[in-house]
Each structure stands twice: as C-alpha cells, then as structure tokens.
C-alpha cells in the first residue's frame, strides 16, 4: 500500500486508483487554511505554509469550491486562556477534570464545568488550544493565495462559547453547521477535503461527511501531531485509525484527473 508522509507520520493511502473529477457533482473543501494556522498565527501547524500554493492550484481546477474558517470568541471552551493553570494544547480528559470546580475556569469563561464534564463523558474530546482565530482578527482571514478564488460556500465555524467545532459539517456535540444542506442544494455527491490540520479539523470534516463519497487529499494536509495523544498514539496516528475504520478514502493529489478541457 502506498503511503504519504506528513509531519513525520506515514499515512497509508487507502484508495490506489485514479479518480476522475466530475465537475457537476464534485466539490473541493479547503479546511481552515487561514492565518491562525500559518506562521504568525496563534496555532501554527508545522509546515502548514507548504500546502498553501498547491492547495490554491488544486482549488482552481475544481468548478465547485467550499472553504471552512475557524473563528472563536474570548472565553470559549476551545481557548487555553479560558482555564486556570492549564498548558496550551492540553488534551482535557474525564480523569484530568474529575475534581474540577468553577475555580478551575478563568473568570471570563463563558461555559461551566458541568458542560465540559458532560461533553467528555459522552466520548467527545476537547483540547485547551493556544488562543487563536479570535473573531475580528486577521487570523480569521483565508491565506492570501485564496483571496482571489471564488467559493460557492464559506462556512465560519466555532464562533460560540460551547462546544468547539472541528468538523465543517457539525459541531463537537453533533449539531449540524448547515454545510450539508448547502451541498445538498448544489447536488454534490463527492467531496475532496484538504487543509489544516489533518488530525483535527480536516479529519473531523471527513468523518462528518456521512452523506457523501469522501476523499481526503493527504499530501495537501499537515498535522499538529500531538504526542501520546490517546493510548500512546499521536493525534495524527489516532485520526488515521479513525478514518481507516470508515469508508473515507485517503488519496494523493497526484491521483486526481480532470476532464479534457478542464483547467
């Protein structure tokens, strides 16, 4: 089986054949390729800048395009500054917060410990991320190379106090974002997903695309790759495990073929 190496992790490509794009029913979804996750942002993904040019080039080959954009408000559950004495990018677990009270939250936190415990007890995960993508800041702008590209859909996600929203299709509690409805109106049947970061928002968007034939273009992603994330696996290894347990196809951009006369 062919693999694609991102951030030191070999990702098995689960679909080996060429994929011919149907411009009438296929869409490219660029996930969170924005200032927050590039150099100078609050949560830069290692080597994230290297995908910007190739991703922009691929987007221009598709006639249908969507983009997700991560946005947060101060005091929201996703931001490390909403907690007391929690290091940035800490995975919050049931065990870690078992004895927490409201004193473990910052005074400006807009959620409560009960909400957080209920979320984690349902099997969901939450990371206390370094502050990033604050509403009204340049970190919520798409990468410069994308600003002249026309998108059929731009979806802003995460701009609530609770819960977080990794997937473009639903928040972390499962509430739909409206993206699926928009794609249904467009007659979309297959989605091709790439962006930042593989182990969180890209992977979660693919897992949430339950109504579509779904492809992740692995070489046009990069991973945060938190070590020892779950049961000794890095976050990229854990997302790979989740994706391989579904019908999501992991491919390389080199496998994509566009119809004659395409861009």
Architecture of domain 3-72+135-257: 3-Layer(aba) Sandwich (3.40)
Residue ranges per structural domain of the chain: 3-72+135-257, 80-128
Give this prediction's pTM.
0.96
Separation of alpha carbons 47 and 25, rounded Å: 32
**Phi, psi torsion values for 145, nearest 5 degrees:** -65, -20
Q: What is the CA radius of gyration of the chain?
A: 18
User: What is the three-state SS of 170-218?
Assistant: ECCCCCECCHHHHHHHHCCCEEEEEEECHHHHHHHHHHHCCCCEEEEEE
Within 10 angstroms of residue 176's Cβ, the number of other Cβ atoms is: 12
Evaluate whether 193 touches 229 at the Cβ level (below 8 Å).
no
- What is the chain's pLDDT, residue by residue, as a tens digit (263 residues)? 799 999 999 999 999 999 999 999 999 999 999 999 999 999 999 999 999 999 999 999 999 999 999 999 999 999 999 999 999 999 999 999 999 999 999 999 999 999 999 999 998 889 999 999 999 999 999 999 998 999 999 999 999 999 999 999 999 989 999 999 999 999 999 999 999 999 999 999 999 999 999 999 999 999 999 998 999 999 999 999 999 999 999 999 999 999 875 44
- The structure tokens listed for 138 are 């340049």
Q: Which residue has the tokens 């078992």?
A: 98
User: What is the three-state SS of 104-148?
Assistant: HECCCCCCCHHHHHHHHHCCCCEEEECCCCECCCHHHCECHHHCC
């Amino acid at each position: 089986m062919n693999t694609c190496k991102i951030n030191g992790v070999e990702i098995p490509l689960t679909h080996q054949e060429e994929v011919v794009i149907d411009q009438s029913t296929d869409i490219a979804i660029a996930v969170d390729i924005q200032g927050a996750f590039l150099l100078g942002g609050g949560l830069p993904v290692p080597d994230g800048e290297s995908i910007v040019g190739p991703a922009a080039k691929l987007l221009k080959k598709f006639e249908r395009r969507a983009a997700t954009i991560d946005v947060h408000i101060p005091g929201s559950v996703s931001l490390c500054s909403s907690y007391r004495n929690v290091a940035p990018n800490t995975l919050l677990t049931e065990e870690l917060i078992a004895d927490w009270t409201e004193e473990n939250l910052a005074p400006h936190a807009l959620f409560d410990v009960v909400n957080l415990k209920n979320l984690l007890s349902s099997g969901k995960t939450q990371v206390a991320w370094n502050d990033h993508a604050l509403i009204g800041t340049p970190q919520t702008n798409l990468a410069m190379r994308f600003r002249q590209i026309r998108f059929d859909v731009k979806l802003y996600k995460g701009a609530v106090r609770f819960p977080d929203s990794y997937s473009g299709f639903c928040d972390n509690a499962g509430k739909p974002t409206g993206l699926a409805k928009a794609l249904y109106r467009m007659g979309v049947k297959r989605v091709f997903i790439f962006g930042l970061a593989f182990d969180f928002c890209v992977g979660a968007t693919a897992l949430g695309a339950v109504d579509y034939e779904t492809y992740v273009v692995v070489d046009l992603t990069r991973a945060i790759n938190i070590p020892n994330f779950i049961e000794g696996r890095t976050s990229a290894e854990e997302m790979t495990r989740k994706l391989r347990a579904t019908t999501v196809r992991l491919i390389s951009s080199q496998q994509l073929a566009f119809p004659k006369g395409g861009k």
